[in-house]
Structures are given as structure tokens and as C-alpha cells.
Amino acid sequence: MTQKQSFDVLVIGSGASGGWACKRLAEAGLKVALLEAGRPQSFKNFTEHQPPFELKYRNLVPEVVRKTRPIQSEFDICTEYNYEWFCNDLEEPYSTPADKPFHWLGRLRMTGGRTNVWGRVSLRFSDFDLKSADFDGYGENWPLSYKDIEPYYDLVENYVGICGLAEGLHARNFCFATGPRRSWAGR
């Protein structure tokens, strides 16, 4: 006889949003189940620091990647180093209306999702994004301002290790807690 388990919350996907949701909900005392479509990730899968001559095709044959990932290979991060992390577009197709074509890039089937290819850089939305109707007159503003969500950006960036610098750009808030990116090679 199989014993049934019950959960308060089911989270789908262990990427940035799913992983953070699981963490915060479990910390709040909820019993959380995580459902992940991807295979396990490990440090041995990160080969981008290997010299190209150690790869089967020396990273010189992008058509090998394009054979099974014609859409994903448009994302310049999908290379011989990691193409197996990405969805096989032929085995997992999707469709869009003819008058609204859309290429869904960054469809990964790996624990952690796109966090595996983002380089720990995650740009903050600013009031130029959240209140864009005030600036250009199109659409509607979000009901939140940058000041409303700034403490949450700080919390997540410190925990996850988001990196970057304030580069003096006024259109966005590029202030990150950890400074420039550090190499994680050899970990």
C-alpha cells in the first residue's frame, strides 16, 4: 500500500522564481512540494571553462546544435558547451498564431532552469519600467513603485549572489549588493 502525502503548496520548476518561492514558503512553515521537469544539475556539467579543443566539435560546428535546437540555438548562450541543457525543439515543439510569431528562448530542462545560464546578472526594474505610462503615455503603470520593491531586491540579491555595478545609468537601477562578478571556476 502506498502512503499518501499531502502538501500545502505545489511549486512547479526550480528556477529562480520556483526556488525562491519554495524557500520562503518553507521558512513560513508550509509543507512544500517541488515538481521539476529537468534532470539534476552538478558542477561537472559546467564545462564552459574548458578550452574548446576538449569539446567533440571544438565549439566550431553550430549546425550540430541547430539540428535538434533550431530555436534554442538562436539564444547565443546555447552552444556545444551546454546545448543538452536546453529543450530539444523537435521533441518539445510549441506553436504560436501565424500573425504573432514568438521564439521561446531559454527553455532549459535542468534543475535550476535558466539560472544555470544567466551569469548571476539580473537587472532590476526601475520606475522607468514599473511606471512607464508616466514616461511614454502607453499602457498602464504597475501598482508598485521601485521604492516598494527595493527591499526585496536587496534581500534576494544578497542571498543569491546577484552581481553588478551601479554604472551611472539613470534609466534603470543597477545597484547590486555584491559588486562585480567573481569567477566560480574550479568550485
DSSP symbols for 125-161? P-HHHHTHHHHHS-S---SS-HHHHHHHHHHHHHHHT
Calculate ∠ Cα 22-26-31, nearest 5°.
100
pLDDT tens for 20-78 read 999 999 999 999 999 998 899 988 888 888 899 998 888 888 899 999 999 999 988 89
117-141 tens-digit pLDDT: 887 777 788 888 899 999 899 999 9
In this prediction the pTM is 0.73
